[in-house]
A = this chain, B = another copy of it.
Amino acid sequence: MKTINTRRSIRKYTDAAVSDTLLRRLLSEAERTQTMGNLQLYSVVVTRSDEQKRRLAPAHFNQPMVEGAPVVLTFCADFRRTTLWAENRNADPGYDNMLSFQNAATDALLFCQTFCNLAEEEGLGCCFLGTTVYMPQMIIDVLQLPRLVVPVATITLGWPDEQPALTDRLPLDAIMHEETYCDYTPERIDRFYAEKEALEENREFVRLNGKQTLAQVFTDCRYTRRDNEAMSAGLIDVLKKQGFLR
């Protein structure tokens, strides 16, 4: 896993195919990831058809990777298979609740991340689309996801046709706490964010958006309160409609 030290999200892919044999091997290996009670509370939907990619794209704000990648993978929290198994075995499944969604989403995300690490070690490039939970109903409709199945992650996958610069990360002490949570004073915030704020690419980002600070680019442009609150309401509706919340 030396590849982790140079990993970057890849958004441009060559025309080379990702073979079904390779994809199946990597997904099978990722199945070794720990899972709650060994129930494997996830599913992955593989999109290779141009028609389905075209239909998925709007759910991801038409980011070009969706139609440009040879493969799109949608990882879903899935309690349906386990529930049907129980119903077919004279058992009474009680997984139509919030805790069960959290358990299944956890299983799906851990499985997804092992898959990403394996794919990157193989030389493939991935881009993780956080948009999956922004308008999940659109994805549910396109992929025909039934009750107790909710998409939680999307990966576009292919052979890299770009090598973008490594992005910065916060110093380890910014995210690591010893024994108890060490809260952030203004001085600690200044220290931990100094390098990020000083990067020329981030200063340019602030100028381009006509803002005073980098944080304002996030709060006013990229992830606004208004969008977050509207999409939160949509996500809660989806959890209700898919049977995880009353």
Contact = CB atoms under 8 A, between A and B. Distances in A.
Interface of A: 1, 4-5, 7, 9, 24, 27-34, 36-40, 42-49, 52, 78, 80-82, 84-86, 88-95, 97-100, 102-103, 105-106, 109-110, 112-114, 116-118, 121, 126-128, 130, 133-134, 143-146, 149, 152-153, 167-170, 172, 174-181, 183-184, 186, 189-190, 192-193, 212-216, 218-220, 222-226, 228-229, 231-232, 235-236
A86 B219 contact: yes
A226 B110 contact: no
A193 to B, nearest CB: 6
A193 B134 CA distance: 34
Contacts of A213: 89-91
A5 B31 contact: no
A170 to B, nearest CB: 5
Contacts of A232: 97-100
A50 B181 CA distance: 17
Given A36-B223, A52-B180, A97-B232, 10 more contacts: A9-B34, A24-B172, A43-B177, A48-B179, A81-B174, A88-B186, A91-B218, A94-B219, A94-B225, A100-B232
Nearest to A173: B24
Q: Which 9 pairs across A and B sit closest by C-beta, in order of nearness?
A: A94-B225, A113-B113, A89-B215, A89-B213, A91-B215, A97-B232, A98-B232, A91-B219, A99-B232
13 contacts: A7-B32, A31-B172, A34-B126, A46-B178, A88-B189, A88-B190, A88-B215, A89-B214, A90-B212, A94-B219, A95-B223, A114-B117, A149-B181
B89 A106 contact: no
A99 to B, nearest CB: 4
Nearest to A92: B219
A228 to B, nearest CB: 5
